[in-house]
């Protein structure tokens, strides 16, 4: 081997020095982060006590750390966890965090797929497991609830009054869904979940507490939180519109699910696009999924259609294309709302599985057959490349999900004051195109080459101009805010309520503000 030149030796020495300096900077930053978190936790322990602020391993601390839905978020160890019982506890926590410049995270339902969005290493975790009240007020026909409630439990508790809130489509999901916009099987008639806000109690980054409504001095903050996710403050109380759905003894809905062979994936995708284009009846709701699962080394794919109608049957004029496609299994019947959204998800329901790395990515397209089929084709190619016998991806499940956003849903939201997501001139309809992946038990992170494949898929299925991406099911590398119709107002509102950009610096969340 030829001897190295003096230039080569110099370059090696320089690169070693640069690496060492970078490592020193990184080590110093990590050390500073730990010190700041320790200072915040010490102050909180003194002011709130060891029951509300836990700084070491114990049953509640350990369960909380390891209960996040996305396995990646169970691998962080917060310096302390704050278990607030009321808004003032959150206020005290944020004052200490702000003063110490400590990193922090907030966890409500723990269902985020985004790494680091609901847990933190060497920081303060605020966890709402003790704030789960839900109260129906009949005179105002509204529901007030705390952020720790899950939709299945909220549905169960409200069912005695014959009402529900516009929340998630899965019982295990929590209230963080609201701040990302939120989609429900009630959305075609009621708008996005966030469109149904009436008032919000919010703790700002410096510990200030405000109540935001559509008509008070914080109306800009109120609108920003309709899709603004975790960047504008911590909501400690939601008051939202109630929706009449009947008690568990009533069955005002008809529907269920239909299982199809994967050979009909294209036909079903086209039928979903047509449904989105042509359906004007707000009593109709639909969700179409294609899931590929690795079973004993063989990729098995199945198509499932979830369909519900507020009436005694499924209108042929709306659902006829789906009903004409041969099914493997059909489960349709009159339903109560608590049957559509039960308190607990069915066993082995993919959306509720804990203990696995989870991942989402988002697109949104006008409901044209060519765009939907292109998205499906790229999904099938992705699944074939990363989910097959002998794969080293560590992935066991991929899903392709089409959610119709009907024109009636957009109109309902605008009638209730609008949100930060939908542009004033957008009337719709459109399709949310989501993809999700689940990895094998024990896989701690997404391999780099798999993330490269995911990034390629995102580029291959671009959103149609003018359509917003869905924050709740995006990839962390997607700048969702810039797709919002009210992006400029959103940036101005963020600057007003967080002028030092504390939230963007000290907690994980969506990019772009």
Per-residue pLDDT at 12 exceeds 50: no
Query: Which phi and psi (to 5°) does residue 9 adopt?
Result: -60, -40
Question: What's the pLDDT tens digit per position in 237-259?
Answer: 999 999 999 999 999 999 999 99
- pLDDT computed for residue 298 by the predictor: 87
Per-residue pLDDT at 13 exceeds 60: no
What value does the mean pLDDT take over residues 8-15? 37
Per-residue pLDDT at 141 exceeds 50: yes
Q: Are residues 264 and 396 in the same domain?
A: yes
Q: Are residues 290 and 232 in the same domain?
A: no
- pLDDT computed for residue 82 by the predictor: 98
| Residue 352 pLDDT class (50, 70, 90 cuts) | low
**Mean pLDDT, rounded, of the chain:** 93
Q: Are residues 210 and 279 in the same domain?
A: no
What value does the mean pLDDT take over residues 5-15? 37
- pLDDT computed for residue 505 by the predictor: 98
| Residue 135 pLDDT class (50, 70, 90 cuts) | very high
**Residue 229 maps to which CATH number?**
3.30.465.10
Q: Of 73, 107, 127, which closes a domain?
A: 127
Total residue count of the chain as it appears in this document: 513
508 domain-assigned:
no
Residue 335: CB partners within 8 Å, gap ≥ 6? 251, 253, 254, 255, 256, 308
Cis-peptide into 201, omega within 30 deg: no
In contact, 504 and 498? CB cutoff 8 Å: yes
Question: What's the pLDDT tens digit per position in 296-321?
Answer: 888 999 999 999 999 999 999 999 99
289 domain-assigned:
yes
206 domain-assigned:
yes
Q: Are residues 15 and 122 in the same domain?
A: yes
Segment among 30-34, 99-103, 286-290, 476-480 with least mean pLDDT: 30-34
Q: Which domain holds residue 33?
A: 7-127
Most confident region among 6-20, 164-178, 336-350 by mean pLDDT: 164-178
Share of the chain above pLDDT 70, in %: 93
Q: Of 186, 217, 246, which closes a domain?
A: 246
Q: Are residues 270 and 206 in the same domain?
A: no
**Residue 48 maps to which CATH number?**
3.30.43.10
496 domain-assigned:
no
Per-residue pLDDT at 348 exceeds 90: no
Q: How many domains does the chain fold into?
A: 3
What value does the mean pLDDT take over residues 465-493? 97
- pLDDT computed for residue 7 by the predictor: 39
- pLDDT computed for residue 8 by the predictor: 40
Q: DSSP 3-state assignment of 396?
A: strand
The strand order across the sheet containing 430-439 reads 329-335, 253-261, 298-309, 284-295, 395-405, 430-439, 358-365
Element (H, E) at 55: none
CA 231 – CA 491 distance, rounded (Å): 11
Instruction: State the pairing for strand pair 395-405/430-439.
Output: antiparallel
What residues form DSSP beta bridges with 54?
81
In contact, 324 and 240? CB cutoff 8 Å: no
501 domain-assigned:
no
What value does the mean pLDDT take over residues 112-123? 96
For residues 9 and 144, the model is more confident at 144
Per-residue pLDDT at 488 exceeds 70: yes
Per-residue pLDDT at 23 exceeds 70: no
**Residue 409 maps to which CATH number?**
3.40.462.20
Residue 57: CB partners within 8 Å, gap ≥ 6? none
* Tokens coding 266: 């294209």
Question: What's the pLDDT tens digit per position in 396-449?
Answer: 999 999 999 999 999 999 999 999 999 999 999 999 999 999 999 999 999 999
With CA atoms as reference, report the closest residue to 71 among 107, 109, 113. Answer: 113
Q: Are residues 411 and 458 in the same domain?
A: yes
498 domain-assigned:
no
* E strand intervals along 184-275: 197-203, 209-213, 234-241, 243-244, 253-261
For residue 25, CA distances in Å to 21, 32, 299, 506 come to 6, 10, 45, 18
* Tokens coding 331: 């489960």
For residues 199 and 171, the model is more confident at 199
Query: Which phi and psi (to 5°) does residue 208 adopt?
Result: -65, 140
Per-residue pLDDT at 17 exceeds 70: no
Q: Are residues 404 and 452 in the same domain?
A: yes
Q: Are residues 391 and 468 in the same domain?
A: yes
Per-residue pLDDT at 351 exceeds 90: no
With CA atoms as reference, report the closest residue to 78 among 48, 46, 102. Answer: 102
Instruction: State the pairing for strand pair 234-241/197-203.
Output: antiparallel
Q: Of 101, 127, 153, which closes a domain?
A: 127
Per-residue pLDDT at 74 exceeds 90: yes
Residue whose entry in the numeric block shows the structure tokens 């963020």: 494
- pLDDT computed for residue 25 by the predictor: 53
- pLDDT computed for residue 14 by the predictor: 36
* Tokens coding 400: 């392709």
- pLDDT computed for residue 453 by the predictor: 94
What value does the mean pLDDT take over residues 132-148? 98
Per-residue pLDDT at 11 exceeds 50: no
Per-residue pLDDT at 390 exceeds 70: no
């Amino acid at each position: 081997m030829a001897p190295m030149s003096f230039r080569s030796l110099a370059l090696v020495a320089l690169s070693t020095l640069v690496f060492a300096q970078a490592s020193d900077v990184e080590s110093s930053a990590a050390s500073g982060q730990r010190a700041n978190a320790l200072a915040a936790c010490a102050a909180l322990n003194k002011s709130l006590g060891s029951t509300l602020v836990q700084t070491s391993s114990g049953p509640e601390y350990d369960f909380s750390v390891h209960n996040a839905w996305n396995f990646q978020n169970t691998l962080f160890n917060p310096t302390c966890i704050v278990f607030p019982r009321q808004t003032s506890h959150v206020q005290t926590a944020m004052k200490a965090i702000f003063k110490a410049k400590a990193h922090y995270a907030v966890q409500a339902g723990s269902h985020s797929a985004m790494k680091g969005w609901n847990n933190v290493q060497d920081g303060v975790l605020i966890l709402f497991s003790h704030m789960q009240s839900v109260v129906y007020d009949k005179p105002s026909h509204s529901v007030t609830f705390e952020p720790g409630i899950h939709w299945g439990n909220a549905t169960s508790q409200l069912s005695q009054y014959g009402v529900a809130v516009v929340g998630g489509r899965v019982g295990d999901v929590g209230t963080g869904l609201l701040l990302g916009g939120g989609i429900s099987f009630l959305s075609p008639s009621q708008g996005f979940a966030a469109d149904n806000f009436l008032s919000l109690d919010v703790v700002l980054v410096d510990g200030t507490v405000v109540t935001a409504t559509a008509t008070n001095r914080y109306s800009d903050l109120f609108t920003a939180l309709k899709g603004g996710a975790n960047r504008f403050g911590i909501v400690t109380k939601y008051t939202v519109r109630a929706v009449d759905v009947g008690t568990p003894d009533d069955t005002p809905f008809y529907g269920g699910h239909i299982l199809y062979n994967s050979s009909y994936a294209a036909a079903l995708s086209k039928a979903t696009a047509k449904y989105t284009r042509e359906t004007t009846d707000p009593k109709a709701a639909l969700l179409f999924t294609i899931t590929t699962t690795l079973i004993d080394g063989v990729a098995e794919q199945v198509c499932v259609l979830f369909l519900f109608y507020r009436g005694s049957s499924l209108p042929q004029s709306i659902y006829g294309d789906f009903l004409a496609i041969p099914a493997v299994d059909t489960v349709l019947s009159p339903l109560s709302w608590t049957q559509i959204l039960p308190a607990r998800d069915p066993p082995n329901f993919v959306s509720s599985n804990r203990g696995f790395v989870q991942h989402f990515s988002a697109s949104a397209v006008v409901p044209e057959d060519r765009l939907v089929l292109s998205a499906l084709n790229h999904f099938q190619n992705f699944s074939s490349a990363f989910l097959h016998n002998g794969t080293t991806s560590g992935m066991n499940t991929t899903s392709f999900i089409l959610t119709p956003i009907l024109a009636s849903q957009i109109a309902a939201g605008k009638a209730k004051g609008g949100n930060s997501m939908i542009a004033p001139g957008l009337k719709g309809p459109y399709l949310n195109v989501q993809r999700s992946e689940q990895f094998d038990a024990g896989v701690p992170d997404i391999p780099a080459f798999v993330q490269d494949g995911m990034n390629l898929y995102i580029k291959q299925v671009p959103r149609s101009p003018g359509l917003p991406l869905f924050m709740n099911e995006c990839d962390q590398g997607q700048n969702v805010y810039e797709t919002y119709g009210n992006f400029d107002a959103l940036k101005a509102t963020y600057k007003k309520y967080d002028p030092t950009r504390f939230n963007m610096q000290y907690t994980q969340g969506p990019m772009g503000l």
